[in-house]
């Protein structure tokens, strides 16, 4: 069978158009900018927000609020200004946690708090108010776990403990100070 130019021309034209389309698609496709050239601008900002977790009975148990929250799509980070965490579990003293700034993990289950971090456990039957101060705190919400690798100061009634590194399990009601621990205890008045 003999190929003629009338038969080859449409085939050559279609092949040329396919190659041109492939080349244009590769040339025009937007390549992501290198990491150094990406901008760190928020894709959304929320002012004065609160997220609340409720129990089965409809009572508020945990809440996270902040004066400002901004999400950054380049690294999927979330930053907060003046964050505050409140926990009100039935039968337990209320916990209030605040800081100057904070960040959230991608799934929102971990909170990282920075600068002037203050945790206050309200007084309850047989318990004096307790205060914990540090410069950094990592909160794992699902496990009710709070930890830091920085210096922490804990005051309750007439007792004060200071140490470096701490882990507090709110469910088990256990606190562990890791290093350089020192304390002072005032004698009870009769």
Q: Are residues 98 and 108 in the same domain?
A: yes
Here the CATH number for the domain that contains residue 56 is 2.60.450.10
Q: Are residues 23 and 74 in the same domain?
A: no
Q: Are residues 50 and 28 in the same domain?
A: no
C-alpha to C-alpha distances, 16 to 9, 20, 21, 64, nearest whole angstrom: 10, 6, 9, 60
* Local confidence band at 68 (pLDDT 50, 70, 90 cut-offs): very high
Name the DSSP letter for residue 188.
P
Q: Are residues 18 and 59 in the same domain?
A: no
Q: Are residues 106 and 162 in the same domain?
A: yes
Give domain status of residue 190, yes or no. Answer: no
* Long-range CB pairs of 163-166, under 8 A, 24+ apart, other chains included: 166/132, 166/134
- Chain segment 88-103, per-residue pLDDT in tens: 877 788 889 899 999 9
Q: In Å, how far from its chain's centre is CA 179?
A: 26
Q: Is the pTM of this model over 0.75?
A: no
Q: Are residues 41 and 18 in the same domain?
A: no
């Amino acid at each position: 069978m003999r190929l003629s130019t009338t038969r080859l021309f449409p085939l050559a034209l279609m092949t040329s158009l396919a190659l041109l389309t492939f080349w244009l698609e590769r040339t025009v496709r937007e390549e992501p900018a290198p990491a150094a050239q990406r901008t760190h601008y928020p894709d959304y900002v929320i002012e004065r927000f609160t997220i609340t977790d409720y129990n089965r009975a409809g009572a508020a148990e945990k809440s996270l609020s902040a004066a400002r929250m901004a999400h950054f799509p380049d690294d999927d980070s979330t930053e907060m200004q003046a964050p505050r965490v409140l926990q009100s579990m039935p039968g337990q003293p209320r916990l209030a946690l605040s800081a100057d700034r904070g960040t959230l993990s991608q799934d929102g289950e971990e909170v990282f708090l920075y600068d002037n971090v203050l945790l206050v456990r309200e007084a309850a039957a047989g318990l004096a108010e307790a205060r914990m101060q540090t410069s950094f705190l990592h909160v794992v919400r699902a496990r009710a776990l709070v930890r830091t690798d920085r210096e922490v100061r804990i005051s309750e009634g007439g007792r004060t403990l200071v140490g470096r590194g701490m882990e507090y399990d709110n469910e088990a009601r256990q606190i562990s100070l890791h290093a350089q621990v020192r304390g002072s205890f005032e004698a009870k008045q009769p």
